[in-house]
Structure 1
């Protein structure tokens, strides 16, 4: 697995990583894809990046470590989370799921009301699973995908890996780097405030929703960043995921559909160090917060953009989620029915890679200055995972009990997966548990 870590580090920095050790085997997760290796590699890369931030503070990071069993636990942390001893409810809405079509399979994502409405409008059916299933069964998967996406919804036909490789978007993704880290403006070198943690004094403004973006913010918070998550009171949330990914973050509401809310966001950005966002591509540009505007508003900002299908190609602005990308690109391809990855590896992997890239950009600001833009996608992470080759699909039984810890939160007592990744110079941890959405003021700590 060392070569996997070295490959990720080369993609981030163009150099060889510092000292690191990997433990464990890949049979902790089932399936043919090397998900456990990918999980360990992305966690190791983010921890190595945190170590580089320690070095510029004059602190020796020590030997970075990552373990496959701990990595596997972190990559399905939302499933292992308990609140006052009770497990999480299903994260899927009634209409979400896989449906058999006249010639294959389609996955519909209906976790948000507007996505469910788009499915019903696009297919011309009422909001019941039976009605949707009946309508889908009489049409081709391609026809259903087109109807739902045209209506503003989120859907993906199950394609074979070969069909995706020949698809224009598959070709576009194959031509993009795993991580795009680009300077987009001038700014003086960053001066770090004193701290014994890698990201102490770093302000991260998080405009994200499920799941990759929140995972990235959670990682940054564990390394000492002041992470402020911005949501909106009127928008629905998948509470099970919020409870899991909100560790160590403050949470505030800002209505970006109002002039006052956009003014508040501008003020927050003007004092931020990092903007982490996973809005649908183009959404922030439409309200005046494109990359060029952000670079002018806050020289020295690190802008991290996460998307589903990449930033080039005909699907660059398409809505997408982990489960949909797996269908579209053939990772869920099965002989009789879809066979998805054992965990939401594209979301978690992209989140950890984003955190690593953000810390790499912050390090470059210290050494070189500049305003930086980071871009990653779920489809890009999938392409990389596929490139790692296959393993024996069998898996052993795994007990994660010793990797769990208790913490107080706004929801009650959480039993959560401990932060993975060993960094002896500054062990990562969250300063507090998940706060209830919107309980904090949309301001920076002094």
Structure 2
């Protein structure tokens, strides 16, 4: 039915009187005294329209005291750019799943069911146990997924690595850890994140040389800030993590430790053979301990034996199922513990998971809060930032040229944890890439 503007103007007064009576039923007492925002002055010819906005929903949730709800803040309505015509047209790529990625503050993230399944397959692939250490007992489902989701939301990430297991050699480091750390750095840089590495002060020059060569050979696109942590007083960790020591101004959103010596319950640091290497390790653990009390900082520990920083989350399983676990188990927990047969594999998997999340339309839309247009990175640009066999082989050669040895055998050779690069690590990289880039 069509009404002319003349007719509407002539009946406006009567309409508003009738409308006021109707609004009283809805609980609206006075149009000129809204509960939120400024009053709207109707003009002749206007047709008032009323609907329940997000603030109405917030009031309802507040009254019902629901333990969990999703809504929007005033003026920030969620408007999706993908209409759903009918539920029968929805496929796995379009069905969102919700995961909690932080409790301080409470933070949830969205990802499609299809991407979730791909990342779970990555987690399964890296969970093989070539050293028969018993790592299957340390596995918790979706730690890789939740860690990667948290990293996807982060703006600034701090990574640490370095396990000086070869205390009788110089340098004492092993070939597990740095490759996985650099693989994560490469992908985080491609995604526009700020990334820094913190290492033992004694190993700063060693790490600087490795990172410089990684840039020269195209393994990394950009140089990485290299930091060291010195504990001078009780506030050293807080001052390192936050601007002017203010816990409301953290410099980093996420901390990652990969194959980093972790402090045991007796305060010492042990290699797998139960030898104390505390004299070679800076107390970077305290950054993770302090971060637990700073709102907005989450953390990940990546390890393959339970004596690595962050794997304190599964320390009881380490003590029960891992050789020498009663002594070597790391006591410092991270929010997420990514367990892999070789720690480098965990770093590769994180890089692959970040690639998948960036190409997940549901997650990407959620990260940008549905504001503006899609910021999906150019696929070829991100693909070149994934770990591949050639890059990882070149990086391992750089480590060997610096005198860094295999973790299990101590060999100065193209191997990691006693496993040769070719046919073992190369095959793992190819499997992860195939899962990641498969359409």
Q: TM-score, normalised by structure 1?
A: 0.31
Structure with higher Rg: it is 2
Structure with more of its chain in strand, by fraction? 1
Greater relative contact order (Cα < 8 A, sep 6+): 1
